[in-house]
Structures are given as structure tokens and as C-alpha cells.
Amino acid sequence: MEQAYLENGGTALLVDLRDGDAVIVHWGDALPAPLPDAALLLPAVPRSNFDVPIRPSLVPQASRGWRGAPGLSGARDDGSGYSPLLTVRSADATATRLDLELEDAVARLRVRIGLELDAHGILHASAELENASDAAYRLVGLELALPLPARAAEVLDHAGRWGREKQQQRHGIAHGEWVRAGRHGRTGHDATGLFAAGTAGFGFGRGEVWGIHLAWSGDHRHRVERLGDGQTVIAAGELLHPGEVVLGAGERYTAPELLAAHSTEGLDGVSARFHRMLRARPTHPRTPRPVVLNTWEAVYFRHDLDELSRLAETAAAVGVERFVLDDGWFRGRRDDHAGLGDWVVDADVWPQGLGPLIERVEALGMRFGLWVEPEMVNEDSDLVRAHPDWIAGPAGRRSLEWRHQQVLDLVNPDAFAHVLGQLDALLSENQGIAFLKWDQNRDQTELGSGGRASTHAQTLAAYRMLDELRRRHPDVEIESCSSGGARVDLGVLARTDRVWASDTNDALERQLIQRGTQALIPPELVGAHIGPAHSHTTGRTQDLSFRAITALVGHFGIEWDILRASDAERAELAQAIAYYRDRRELLHSGRLVHADDRGPSSTVYGVVADDRSEAVFVVAQLTLAPDEQTPPATLPGLDPARRYRVRFGLPLDERGVGERGAPAWIAAGGELELTGAALAVIGVPVPALLPEHALLLDVREVR
């Protein structure tokens, strides 16, 4: 087989397999027949260079003239095998999948690669390394690289910190490497999520974009590299620590899956492919995403059955459907200094167990959820007093504490079995627990087990625990929370039902956090809650309207002591909940779109139904506008030929409207009818909003 052509979902791969190499010649839109002959597409040989044309292989190799980062790196104890020459030994192709086996017969290494295009145009790329020698092989890294054409001029990724995750950053692609590495022992608050390259000036709805994601919850790196000859790759792989993966005779290492998408419709086009792929999974939630109330910012560690029962009654009255009891329910847990690892209900606080609260929640028509943090321990815990050796880290000393806690060594089978048994008993004895908020609150930069680095093994152990718990309790939904958004990736999402995007519920921060998170993950899988008026993470104070509208495009919830809310606030909250429940089928199935060219002071985004018959849009003023006249809100994604009626989804909050008042269509009755073409180009005139205010537009086709 000299070349292979894969096509699905409007995306195509053309792979050149001549000369024993595996080189992607084209990754992009489907190609019309006749297909090009890859043999005729070799580049010229530059001056002062190798005597044959050099191209990046799927696994780039110095032995094939690649002068950038190698795809496979490692060596044997005597130093041999440091520069493999991998040659294709077998290739098996269908219309949508290519399976390759590559081998270096001298170095005794085999690499198996699978490339598959799914129905949504997502490329699933897998790689496995086998040591075919009796001598051990110390793996440094295994990455797959995808080529970028010369027209890919800019790279966009996401960075951040606790309380400010998934912030866009972009710059031009120049000679050298742009690397986004994560060394947290978990995905990390600064993890990029979607890592993308595109043509100059690409935006949400314009330009050609190539995006990748490594489906992995441990240490990792994503990178773009351009060599001096102009050849460019985008790549990702697990970041391994020294001595972490040593393959004995016949042993194999499986790399995390690399997912990749291409679109000629900007970032939103790439996001749409990922969203459709996730929604098509058999494990994707099929029931409407319930309105959540989480008790953390209402009571913190102050657990009292009577107060929590009153909170549950108030929650049910405004339309809440899931009531989640947060941290503080287990033995010795009166603050964050003690108790982690002892997953037994505290009899001093809950003398009758959790049963009375669960029963009250269920009697009110809600489901009950509970917070856990199974991967962490406090040194002040019965578990650590009995098993101090179960703390992960380097041999002979403790790692630095983080929030008074350490990581439990789940690679240790006894520690794993103990925690799994406690969680299994908790769920078995409390059948009403329908949801777990699974937290993981610290970085661990030197994870170790048995005296050697263990981030890779610890990540796999966490996956096994989630998988086994779900097998035993298939009806319990799980949220991935990691001090907010520090474990948001498609590796953990394969085992959970939603992610918590950030520990901040400040709506201003949430606007950009949710935008960055939803670049990869659809809204229904991203927890988005209304916090109290005064944010405990930022100190800002915001009106309820802004907080509610911000939370609507996500999995909507509340994290606020609504017992202390006024009657007017509870009425406004109930109205927002009713709107969410009425429109969540659209919000959680349609295409997420963003208007380009708004600048940093405001944002317009929305969800458009797949048949383009209806939509919901948010117009949010983030900071003081640079211009006196607020530009109209252009609404992308609608059918240009159809006519739509625009109304407010929730009443306009007059507190957020500047002195200039409302545009004519609002003053004339609050309805506007325009074609989709006019809405996309001319837009909807909007009031001059003050900073940290938003309005909600409900758009429906006029039939």
C-alpha cells in the first residue's frame, strides 16, 4: 500500500506510506476525485540540507532527517536505541480507518498507530509502543504529530490559574516551538483544553482552524513547532517523568488518545465537531440536565439538619431539581485541616446519618448529591494514622502540603481497595445518593509510589476507581471537580457526567472561563452556577440578572444561601430557572456560536438549534465600552433566508442600562423581526449596558 485516503464527516486524511514511512500529506476538507498521487507532492531539497526531501512523519524521527522534537524518545540502559528508525511493516485501511505497525528491527521497538475519522470529522489517533527486546527500554516520550500547512499562521490556546481558568491567548507561529506543558499531577488550572492553529486573523466564525486535544488527566504537553525549512507540526503527548515508564521484555505503553478537528468555519466550527462527537457517546447524559443547588457557599462546613432542610425547601420552591451536600459531612471534618480519607458519616453532626436529609430532599421532588474527595488525605485522619505509608510522594520525606492535604497513593493496591470499599459502602448504604461531586484539590508535582515517579500510574488508578464505582453504581452521576477547573479534559469526561469549570462564581470571570471551557466541551457538561451577590473569590458585587444570564448557557445551578435572599430575589431566581427549564433542550443540543469583532469589552454568543428555527443569545458588557454608542449585537448562525422574531428571554434589567436608554424597537413594544441575514450583518440595536450587565435575547422563526 503506497498511500491511504480516509474520509468521514467532511474531513479527510491522505497518508503517504511509501519508503516505509508514514506521512500525512493532507489533513483538512474532503478531496474530490481523482485523488492526488502523494509521490508527486514531495517538496524540493533545500540548499545545505539532506540529499532527500524531508517531511514530518506521524512519529517524527531524527533518523528520517527531522531536526525538531522527536516523536519517540528513550533509550536502553546501555544508551542504545536512542534514535529509532521506524519502518511500516503492515498497513490495513478502510474508508475511515488506518492501522499501522512500525518497527525498528535493530532497536527491537514496535509502534502501532491507529487513525480513525469519525462521523463528526474528529480524528482519533492512538499509539502503542512495544519493547521487543529482552533489555529494558526507558521511555522518555511518545507523541504523534500532525502537519500544518504554510497558511497556518497563528496559534491559540488557553491558560489560566485558580479562579481564572481557560483564558484565550494567541500569537503568530514563528520558527521554534510553542509548548504548553502541564506538570501538576493532574490536568491543571492552566491547561489549554483546546489547542488550535489557524490562518491569519481567524476568529470564532471565520478562517481555517486545526485544533487538537490530548484526552488525558495527568501531566502532558501540547505544542506547535516550525523548523527552519518552514515545515510545521502540531502535536501532543503525555509528559513522563524520569524512570516513570520502563518497559521490560514484551511490555507495552499505550499513549493517551489524541483528538483532532479541522474546520473552515473558525473556532466555532472546530468546537461544533467536538460537541457533536461528545453528544453522540453512549455515555452522554440523555436526561434533561437538572437545576442544581450546591450547599458550599450557603453553609460551608456549618452542617445542621434543620437549616439544610429549610434550604432544601426554599430550593424546591424556586425550581431546583438536584440538592448537593458539599464538604463537611464526614468524620472529623469541621474545617479543611482534618478528615480527608475517612469517608464515614460523622455521627456527632449527623447522629441519624444522612438518611433524614436525603428523605426530605426526595420528598420535595429533588434528587440528592454528595461531595467527596477520594484521592486526597489529611495527615490528621484515621487513615493516615493507620497507614502513613499510603501518602504518595518521594521515598523518605513528605511533599509540601497544599490546603493541608496530601495525595493518597492509589497505585498501592491496599490503599485503592480501602477507599473504593468506603465509597461503595457509602453509596450502598445511602441509596438516595444520585450524584457525586468528585473533587481533587491539589497539585502534586512529585507524585511517587514505591520510590519512583507515579503520575502516569496514579492517573490510571484514578480512572480505574471511577470506572469500577460506576460499574457498581451505574445510576450515580459524577462531576469532575478539581479545585475548580484543574481536571477538565476528555480523559476524565469519559468517566464522568459533567465538569466544574471554576471555583469562582463571579459572573464576570465566568463569562470568559465558560467561553474557554466550552471551546472543547458542550454547555450541558459544564457546571455553571449563580453565586451570591458578593463573590467570595473576587470581592465583586453583581446584580442577579447578570449572574443568572451568565449561568444559563451551561448546566445551570445555584451556589448561594437563598434562605437569606429577599422575596424579590427569589422571584427573579425562579423566573430564570423556569426559563432554563423551558429552553434547556435547545441550550443543550444546539450549536454554540460567537460573534466576532466585539473587542474585549463585550461579548455576544448563543446557541442555535440544529434546524436553525430558534436560538438563545447573550449580550454581555464586561467592562466600560470604549465608544459612547454601543454597537448592535450581530447574531451569527441563523438561516439567512428565514425571518425571525427577537424578544427578551428574561426582562431587561433596567439597573444595567446607561443613561441613553433603550433603542427604538424596545420602546415600541420589545419585538423585532428581521431575516437571519440582517441579524448576522446589521444586528440588533441594544441598550448601552453598564459594565457587568447582560441581556438575554430569545429568537424564534416567524412561521
Radius of gyration of the chain (CA): 27
Which of the following is catalytic: 503, 543, 653, 698? 503
130 forms beta bridges with 110, 252
Whether residue 436 lies inside any domain: the answer is no
Parent domain of 254: 3-34+57-279
Is the pLDDT confidence value at 660 over 80?
Answer: no
Is the pLDDT confidence value at 659 over 70?
Answer: no
Is the pLDDT confidence value at 341 over 90?
Answer: yes
CATH number of the domain enclosing 259: 2.70.98.60
Digit-coded pLDDT (tens) for 112-130: 999 999 999 999 999 999 9
pLDDT at site 630: 86
Strand order in the sheet with 672-675: 591-594, 602-608, 614-621, 693-701, 643-648, 672-675
Answer whether 22's CB lies under 8 Å from 58's CB: yes
Answer whether 247's CB lies under 8 Å from 75's CB: no
* 21 classed as catalytic: no
As a whole number of angstroms, the distance between CA 472 and CA 486 comes to 27
Digit-coded pLDDT (tens) for 390-404: 999 999 999 999 999
Cβ-based neighbour number of residue 149 at 10 Å: 15
Q: DSSP 3-state assignment of 614?
A: strand
Give which of 161, 171, 222 is closest to 193, Cα–Cα.
222
Show Cβ contacts of residue 94 under 8 Å, excluding neighbours closer than 6 positions.
none
pTM above threshold 0.75: yes
CA distances from 680 to 66, 606, 614, 645, 659 (A): 46, 12, 14, 14, 27
Task: Say how many CA atoms lie within 13 Å of 161 toward its Cβ.
Answer: 1
CA distances from 120 to 147, 278, 281, 307, 402 (A): 20, 10, 12, 48, 41
Q: DSSP 3-state assignment of 407?
A: strand
Digit-coded pLDDT (tens) for 45-88: 889 999 898 899 999 999 999 999 999 999 999 999 999 999 99
pLDDT at site 40: 87
* 503 classed as catalytic: yes
Number of domains in the chain: 2
Digit-coded pLDDT (tens) for 529-584: 999 999 999 999 999 999 999 999 999 999 999 999 999 999 999 999 999 999 99
Q: What percent of the chain has pLDDT over 90?
A: 94
Mean pLDDT of 138-145: 98
Whether residue 602 lies inside any domain: the answer is yes
pLDDT at site 658: 76
CATH number of the domain enclosing 613: 2.60.40.1180
Whether residue 393 lies inside any domain: the answer is no
Match 509548548 to its residue by C-alpha cell: 179
C-alpha cell at 251: 511490555
Instruction: Label residue 379 by pLDDT band (50, 70, 90).
Output: very high
> Helices 305-318 and 355-363: crossing angle, nearest 10°?
20
* Total residue count of the chain as it appears in this document: 703
Q: What is the DSSP letter of 64?
A: G
> At which of 279, 303, 329 does a domain end?
279
Answer whether 23's CB lies under 8 Å from 15's CB: yes
Which of the following is catalytic: 21, 439, 443, 497? 439
As a whole number of angstroms, the distance between CA 105 and CA 86 comes to 8
Whether residue 298 lies inside any domain: the answer is no
Three-state helix/strand/coil letters over 19-36: HHCCEEEEEEECCCCCCC
> At which of 215, 247, 279 does a domain end?
279
Q: Which residue has the higher pLDDT, 639 or 660?
A: 639
As a whole number of angstroms, the distance between CA 103 and CA 111 comes to 6
Whether residue 426 lies inside any domain: the answer is no
Whether residue 543 lies inside any domain: the answer is no
Phi, psi of 582 (to 5 degrees): -75, -35
pLDDT at site 551: 98
Match 475519522 to its residue by C-alpha cell: 117
Which helix (H) or strand (E) segment holds residue 436: the answer is strand 433-438
Whether residue 131 lies inside any domain: the answer is yes
Answer whether 238's CB lies under 8 Å from 103's CB: no
Digit-coded pLDDT (tens) for 475-525: 999 999 999 999 999 999 999 999 999 999 999 999 999 999 999 999 999
Q: DSSP 3-state assignment of 247?
A: strand
Whether residue 299 lies inside any domain: the answer is no
> At which of 279, 302, 319 does a domain end?
279
